[in-house]
Structure 1
């Protein structure tokens, strides 16, 4: 059979209902890693939801326990020929809170529901649907090749991505020999847009910055004390404005990345950020001056205010608050001196009259990406073009954060991400969904990639690790 047969076979799994039935079975597992008591569901998803499916693909698999007592990991492996290339794949079985009762038409987040072009359900986009697409494509290639893949394949599925993948690096480095491969290929996050296939090579990092103003216990009457007592909320607002202005532009050089390279500018010149009708319109005159929307989103840093609190907004008292708090997040690209950020923020605030603002770091994710000149990038782009007739968007990294550094730096692998959702998928919110049209195309894309990988003997592969 041919490459075209493999691509058609992958798409047929959607037409027949086989893919959606399997996805529904996986969505039913309430794998909310952020919710206490979810351990049984996380383990069951791996044991009952995935291990039998991997066994049907002739993968051997086993569970790996978390070294800190978090959710377990599933490692699956298929060995065919030592002379063939080996690909390592990744997915996560955990999801965010289901948010029952908040979905449109009171949809059940723990079942898939098809409505028009959308397939609703918690995890359809993030990430059960995406690793299910890749597994279905493997099945189609295997069928087209008479029970063979043409390459060796490994999978690691974690159940703690939504809590920051706390043990993933430790687990992967402990399994370094077992996870050795020539290429890392995985799917998570959104495409550039629903109608354009996308490759991204890594991710932006994230650092949460807590700002706390604690002047005194309790609040004091604004009539009796107004004008003579410092207001914690006013001070906090001024401190934030000292870091990022009213147009979202960062005011501190240490928060910014190095100059955008000509190579990245050239690649992003072909990338247009164009929200669909049901997505928010881009804000005019927002963000760093002199950059395109694509450069701001994929090649620059942003400082966002995530939350603020002072007093009781639901029932405000006529009183001056004694304390105020805010959580900001710096999204940053490779090259940012992230180790210097907190001290730089603290010094900047001190120098501008905000010495009373306490600054501390919290949750952090690393930034990482594969070099543009990796031959795997061109190989993947050509495969996708051959399958779809479209030139994929190639992004240096996607705007959010993923544990890409575990694979690119920890394991030393070239990393290629091919996402199967789109920006309006409502992940992490009610009404999470995937699109049938994107799913159909994604099944074909992955079947084409896997077929092409099997056509390349290891001594002719585009790179080696």
Structure 2
């Protein structure tokens, strides 16, 4: 933490880094204990899981927010054309005259735990070990909830009634299921959620000890490709040779998506601007766990390949399993492809380019169908905006080191909805994860030192906005 004198940090506010740090630290044991309680609730928004646990998770979050003295706390969901949304928690604290309103986003639903044999601890029993907290949702994204809550608690403990920034907590309950009713929820509650600044606490930092503000996100589309080569299955010994089976031809089609360097070779997918941030190959290999013998795909810097160029992955295939294999020529095979799009790429044009590529490269005259799926726009932050400058200052002050302005290879499709419905709002994407947090994987964890800094950084950001008045 920096040792800048309180009076020089936030002019006119009567509060600074040191005082807020003391307030955060005084409550950190309580904050972590509450986070552990939230981790214990397996709230999963997928249809195959018990919805009562998701409801219990929402109730627990609502209780946390009521414990902060917030009177207007609601649990809301909508039915969007037959799709019942997960329970979101919305809590409001009105702004004082001349002060901005900040929307604090996180999500309380989590990924399924997966194979229990891969976990070193019980997934829904938060366990501390060597400075980290292990458990499903410990990082993604129940720590985001508690970063918001901890920041407000520190501000109330230090500024009290002098803290006049309006706050709206929006804790979503279906993010890990793809936020199917998010847009409809925003449209239904547009005025309830309106804000001058939006803080989305669902990203990560550069590495342990080095904070980051996420300044760009890749967009995404996905699609299902089905290939048919036979009217029905036939004996591989009697007909194999003149006829190639569907899995083989699907593999040949999939191979056309990349060139010899492993770069995406779909005509019409664009690359963004070159990024100035350096991401050392050795660091990337360690962070990603890629095997030593595997050559990295693509050309250019690692940062550009991750953030500013398209990527395309095959995330699922429908073919017979090895266990159920027989000597049969398979007539059909399917694959789900998941391209990530560079900032500046229109998702609709990307989807059209993929469909054209599949049709153009259908191997051996096989019948190929292309079924479009999800679409999400990329995001590029305005880092010159006042809230972004305040956030970068707060991150540096909390960690005591210069923050990185980093892109993220992943996508948060609902950011495009926020941008469209609230075009005047400044959107900040922050987070608590680090490269070893393993979100969505077994042994998900949170670095507790960086979590403390994230709470402090958000408190400093809000204090800065409070001192400055309108954002």
What is the aligned partner in structure 2 of residue 72 from structure 1?
A: 87
1:386-397 equivalences in 2 (<5 Å)? 386-397=397-408
Change (3 A) 1:398 1:9: farther
2:334 matched to 1:322?
Answer: no
Q: Deviations over 1:171-192 (max 9, x none)?
A: 2122222222211112112222
SS of equivalent to 2:370: strand
C-alpha deviation, 1:53, in angstroms: 2.8
What is the aligned partner in structure 1 of residue 11 from structure 2?
A: none
Q: Which residue of 228, 244, 258 corresponds with 1:230?
A: 244
SS of equivalent to 1:22: helix
Q: Which residue of 431, 450, 459 corresponds with 2:462?
A: 450
What is the aligned partner in structure 2 of residue 2 from structure 1?
A: 15
Q: Deviations over 1:98-125 (max 9, x none)?
A: 23633434x2222211111221111111
- C-alpha separation in 2, matches of 1:456 and 1:276: 42
Preserved contact between residue 201 and residue 415 of structure 1 (Cα < 8 Å): no
Q: Deviations over 1:10-43 (max 9, x none)?
A: 13323xx212210111112220111435332222
- C-alpha separation in 2, matches of 1:207 and 1:376: 30
Q: Unpaired segments of 5 or more residues in structure 2? A: 1-13
1:327-338 equivalences in 2 (<5 Å)? 327-338=336-347
C-alpha deviation, 1:333, in angstroms: 2.8
What is the aligned partner in structure 2 of residue 33 from structure 1?
A: 45
Runs of 4+ in 1 over 6 A off after TM superposition: none
2:387 matched to 1:379?
Answer: no
SS of equivalent to 1:102: helix
Q: Deviations over 1:383-424 (max 9, x none)?
A: 222332211111245533352112222222221111111122
What is the aligned partner in structure 1 of residue 348 from structure 2?
A: 339
Q: Deviations over 1:319-369 (max 9, x none)?
A: 322122211111113321321334333333333454522111123333223
Q: Deviations over 1:206-265 (max 9, x none)?
A: 2112111122354323222122223212211111112223543111221234xx33xx63
What is the aligned partner in structure 2 of residue 428 from structure 1?
A: 440
Instruction: Name which of structure 1's ranges 368-377 and 168-177 shifts more when overlaid on structure 2.
Output: 368-377
Change (3 A) 1:276 1:328: closer
- C-alpha separation in 2, matches of 1:2 and 1:276: 42
C-alpha deviation, 1:296, in angstroms: 1.1
Q: Which residue of 261, 267, 277 corresponds with 1:269?
A: 277
Change (3 A) 1:220 1:205: same
- C-alpha separation in 1, matches of 2:69 and 2:321: 56
Q: Unpaired segments of 5 or more residues in structure 1? A: none
Change (3 A) 1:425 1:246: farther
What is the aligned partner in structure 2 of residue 300 from structure 1?
A: 309
What is the aligned partner in structure 2 of residue 403 from structure 1?
A: 414
- C-alpha separation in 2, matches of 1:42 and 1:220: 47
SS of equivalent to 1:452: helix
Q: Deviations over 1:34-63 (max 9, x none)?
A: 143533222222223324433523352112
1:88-127 equivalences in 2 (<5 Å)? 88-99=103-114, 101-105=116-120, 107-127=121-141
Q: Using structure 1 for the length normalisation, give the TM-score.
A: 0.89
Q: Which residue of 425, 449, 455 corresponds with 1:437?
A: 449
Root mean square deviation, CA, Å: 2.4
2:297 matched to 1:287?
Answer: yes
Q: Deviations over 1:60-90 (max 9, x none)?
A: 2112222232212221111141211111111
Preserved contact between residue 301 and residue 330 of structure 1 (Cα < 8 Å): yes
Preserved contact between residue 378 and residue 411 of structure 2 (Cα < 8 Å): no
Q: Which residue of 241, 251, 255 corresponds with 1:241?
A: 255
What is the aligned partner in structure 1 of residue 181 from structure 2?
A: 167
Change (3 A) 1:372 1:2: closer
What is the aligned partner in structure 2 of residue 137 from structure 1?
A: 151
1:164-243 equivalences in 2 (<5 Å)? 164-243=178-257
- State the number of aligned residues: 449
Change (3 A) 1:319 1:359: same
Preserved contact between residue 342 and residue 359 of structure 1 (Cα < 8 Å): no
Change (3 A) 1:200 1:253: same
Preserved contact between residue 7 and residue 443 of structure 1 (Cα < 8 Å): no
Instruction: Name which of structure 1's ranges 419-428 and 219-228 shifts more when overlaid on structure 2.
Output: 219-228
Q: Deviations over 1:278-300 (max 9, x none)?
A: 751488753332x2111111122
2:370 matched to 1:359?
Answer: yes
- C-alpha separation in 2, matches of 1:36 and 1:165: 16
Instruction: Name which of structure 1's ranges 299-308 and 337-346 shifts more when overlaid on structure 2.
Output: 337-346
Change (3 A) 1:37 1:160: same
Change (3 A) 1:349 1:171: closer
Preserved contact between residue 64 and residue 75 of structure 1 (Cα < 8 Å): yes
